[in-house]
Structure 1
Amino acid sequence: MNNPKKITAKAPNEKEVFKTLNTNKIYIPVLIGLGVAIYFFLEKVDIPIFLEALGKSNWYWFLGALIMLLARDAGYIYRIRMISDDELSWKSSIYIILLWEFASAVTPSVVGGTAVAIFILNREGLSFGKSMAYVMMTALLDNFFFIVFSPLAIFVSNSFDFMVFPAISAGMFNEFVQKQGLKGAFYVSYGLTVIYASFFVYGLLINPRGFKWLLVKITSIKLLRRFREGAINTGNEMIIAAKTLRGSGISLWIKAIFLTFFIWIARYLMLNCLISAFTPLEAIDHLFVFARQIAMWIVMLLSPTPGSSGTAEAVFCLFYVEYLRSEFCAAVGILWRLFYYYPYLFVGALILPRWLIRVNKNRRNNEKKS
């Protein structure tokens, strides 16, 4: 009787990975972000009014924003260690998350840092199959948050007669067209997220071989034939990852789902804290700020720039000028980015050389033992 053909998948191309894991990569998003930030700061911010507002701000809320940021990172670190069944050490988990965030910060949101994340996990001692499985699992969990909470944001807006898609001044275009454009971007991004997650669920949890068959069939079309090799490799990756996760109990998934909700809620509450530092918010306002941030984040997923640089700064005041004075709203948007985005660029660039020395040393030691 013939043995079934062994399923194999190509590991991420090391050369391509290091094109992303490159300290020089920080210049592009920094230049884009700073360029937009400087423009908005000079054109949209009344500096004396902002400095006055900053002097009167409640600094306890800045501390709250920092705590939310640290809570979110702690959640990410704990989640990757929990998913690996403690195979990853705390030190490895910290390196993984910080470098993963760095990779995400230097790549467009639509691209993400999946290949880099697989490479990092693999270099931290996990097998290629486990590395793929855990990256795919976390991607599915993060998308699940958006799929669940985005309709809740719309529900909140409808229930309280609150516009989750903000009113926009007419300017060059008709206000209706501008508003529908923003709403349209949200629904396109949400729809793509649902489709992406549905493919993941089918391939990772239901029928990985059927998923591969579907990809091969699609790339059999003449126009798509050049993607066939990549489709076969992706299908093989899904089969390997699904096999690795097969033993994961339902309790692990439930814990991971709730932990994912905690991570993203902490991430969003950070902005609630920043806005509260300048403007006292009622409980219902906190709910509206949170709901609007989900809509803004979904729109930002379509950004073609690394880490949504420029896009995030540009759309911030569209969503939050109602809660912040127009004279310094853009400045708070820059502060928001300084909290949750730029630190990962610089921390990643600082720890990357140290991490490479560490993992290369571990590899040499393992080779000597074997």
Structure 2
Amino acid sequence: MKIQEQDILRKLSPKRTFIPLLIGLLSTVVIFYWTYEPSQWQYFWQASLPALLGAIAALLVRDGGYTARIRYLSQKELGWRGSLYSILLWEFASAVTPSVVGGTAVAIFILNREGIRFGKALAYVLLTAVLDNAFFIFAAPLAIWFSQGEVFVGSFNKTMQWTFWFSYLLIALYTFFMAFGLLARPRVVKWLLLKITAFRWLKRWRKAAYDTGNDLIIASREIKGKPVAYWLQAAGFTLFIWTARYVTLNFLMETFIDLSLQDHLLVFGRQIVLWISMLISPTPGSTGTAEYFFTELYSEFLGSFSGTVGVLWRLLTYYPYLLLGILILPVWLRRTQQKLKTVE
């Protein structure tokens, strides 16, 4: 994988925050226009401060978990400060680029500039993606089973189900493919990629397939031979992180309404469906898309107030990373100037 520093820095440019901020502002105006009712103010008067603090704490715990996991995966080659910077900039990159584009190159650049060799940086980024996707692959069927299919709602049911299962299948296949290449037989995966792209209508991707195969071989060398404890702890971190990520919304909704245990499980489960909609969104950071799907999925609990809570949820979990990215990027670039190694 050839990483051009100028290309990456353009992706991380604070100027790129203009588009998601504009889309976010427009979607907020539209949501308030269609859902606002004067009676909604009662939700604010009866809001629970402890639940709101719980949402903020869950968010901080999630970021702490991300920081600890990347430090652990790097076998402490990254310090705590470098791990935190890496995670915040990683989140910033995700916030200013569409999820469908992917941020692998940006993440590798961040770790490489922190002093991690290219091969190791690539291995850690791919391993992180495999772990996160594995959580989704196992959690999604459980959420559907526990909710008896109620994670899909209303007139939205059929469309969302088809979208969900199609995306689930693609993610499962991709994750199996990458895990097999990363942890078992990278050369077999490279051979398959080259065979697939040998067809005339796929030849335009043959060079990319060749590079991807080589990257897998390099990354696989870096993480082979790790003990079972390494994988168990990595899986534990992943479960902890995603639980904290989803529980943030449970706390936020509990701030305004009382939820039963069954309600909490359903709120938690529907975030898996919401995550799919965000994953395939063409907008930077899923701006606009996330708010719309949130309203569709949670109006059952919040009525017309769901639009407002959706905006508050994004104010808590998305927009702070835009601001943090703008603030820490120049500091981080100066700090890592001496650490930067030549990308091989």
TM over 0.5: yes
Tell me the CA shift for residue 52 of structure 1.
2.5
Unmatched 5+ residue regions in structure 2? none
1:325 aligns with 2:312: no
The 5-angstrom pairing of residues 107-118 of structure 1 reads 107-118=97-108
Tell me the CA shift for residue 314 of structure 1.
0.7
1:353 aligns with 2:330: yes
Question: Which of the pair has more CA radius of gyration?
Answer: 1
1:280 aligns with 2:258: yes
Q: Counterpart of 2:124 in structure 1: which amino acid?
A: Y
The 5-angstrom pairing of residues 84-233 of structure 1 reads 84-158=74-148, 163-168=150-155, 178-233=156-211
Partner Cα distance (2:315, 2:232) in 1? 33
* Counterpart residue number, 2:3: 12
**Aligned match for 2:39, one of 49, 64, 79:** 49
| Cα offsets for 1:5-32 (capped at 9, x unmatched) | xxxxx33222321221111111111111
TM-align CA RMSD: 1.4
| Cα offsets for 1:213-241 (capped at 9, x unmatched) | 11111111111112111111110000000
| Cα offsets for 1:287-322 (capped at 9, x unmatched) | 111111112212321111111111001111111111
Partner Cα distance (1:233, 1:286) in 2? 44
* Counterpart residue number, 2:321: 344
**Aligned match for 1:65, one of 37, 55, 80:** 55
* Counterpart residue number, 1:171: none
Q: Percent identity?
A: 49
Tell me the CA shift for residue 194 of structure 1.
0.3
**Aligned match for 1:269, one of 247, 253, 256:** 247
Tell me the CA shift for residue 116 of structure 1.
0.3
Does structure 1 conserve the Cα–Cα contact (< 8 Å) formed by 2:99 and 2:285? yes
Unmatched 5+ residue regions in structure 1? 1-9, 169-177
| Cα offsets for 1:343-362 (capped at 9, x unmatched) | 11110111111111111144
Partner Cα distance (1:337, 1:262) in 2? 21
Does structure 1 conserve the Cα–Cα contact (< 8 Å) formed by 2:181 and 2:187? yes
Does structure 2 conserve the Cα–Cα contact (< 8 Å) formed by 1:103 and 1:112? no
Partner Cα distance (2:106, 2:190) in 1? 22
1:82 aligns with 2:60: no
Does structure 2 conserve the Cα–Cα contact (< 8 Å) formed by 1:121 and 1:131? yes
Partner Cα distance (1:273, 1:353) in 2? 34
Does structure 2 conserve the Cα–Cα contact (< 8 Å) formed by 1:124 and 1:359? yes
TM-score w.r.t. structure 1 length? Answer: 0.90
1:236 aligns with 2:226: no
Tell me the CA shift for residue 59 of structure 1.
1.2
Does structure 2 conserve the Cα–Cα contact (< 8 Å) formed by 1:81 and 1:90? yes
TM-score w.r.t. structure 2 length? Answer: 0.96
Partner Cα distance (2:162, 2:27) in 1? 24
* Counterpart residue number, 1:24: 15
Does structure 2 conserve the Cα–Cα contact (< 8 Å) formed by 1:189 and 1:299? no
